[in-house]
């Protein structure tokens, strides 16, 4: 009895260009969904400023494609401990990779955009 020709499964096939796109830093950031967490300490002036600044950056540069969660370390100390937060305000960009941490009031727009992979450092 003759064996049927061997076929490859669709899972074994690679889509052209997929790996190349993933290897280029910042190439996916133009359309990717951002998952951000901002850790603050109560209602201090610096925390309020960080919240205001990051919301403005998100609305101007990531409109409709971000999730921002603001976490008060006094109310959710366990989350801050699990994330090893040592200074506040701290912004953590979980997605898209790579994970980034930004510390401060987010007032330096160039540094925030660079940290979020939205701008390339020149």
The contacts of residue 71 (CB under 8 Å, 6+ apart) are 37, 38, 39, 40, 79, 80
Q: How far is CA 35 from CA 2, 87, 98, in A?
A: 54, 20, 12
Report pLDDT digits (tens) over 29-81.
567 899 999 999 998 999 999 999 999 999 999 999 999 999 999 999 999 99
Lookup: tokens for 27? 């190439």
The answer to whether residues 10 and 41 touch, using CB atoms and an 8 Å cutoff, is no
**104 touches 81 (CB < 8 A):** no
Q: Name which of 37, 92, 29, 91 is nearest 65 in CA terms.
A: 29
pTM of the full predicted structure? 0.73
Cα gap 118→60, rounded to integer Å: 11
Grade residue 120 by pLDDT with cuts at 50, 70 and 90.
Answer: low
β-bridge pairing 34-40 and 66-72: parallel
Rounded to a whole number of angstroms, the distance between the first and last alpha carbons of the chain is 66
What percent of the chain is predicted at pLDDT more than 70? 73
């Amino acid at each position: 009895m003759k064996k049927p020709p061997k076929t490859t499964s669709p899972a074994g096939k690679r889509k052209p260009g997929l790996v190349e796109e993933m290897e280029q830093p910042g190439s996916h950031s133009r359309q990717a969904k951002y998952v951000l967490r901002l850790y603050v300490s109560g209602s201090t002036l610096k925390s309020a400023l960080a919240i205001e600044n990051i919301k403005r950056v998100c609305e101007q540069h990531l409109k409709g494609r971000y999730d921002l969660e603001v976490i008060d370390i006094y109310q959710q100390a366990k989350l801050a401990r699990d994330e090893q937060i040592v200074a506040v305000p701290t912004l953590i960009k979980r997605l898209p990779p790579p994970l980034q941490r930004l510390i401060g009031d987010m007032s330096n727009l160039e540094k925030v955009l660079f940290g979020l992979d939205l701008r390339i450092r020149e």
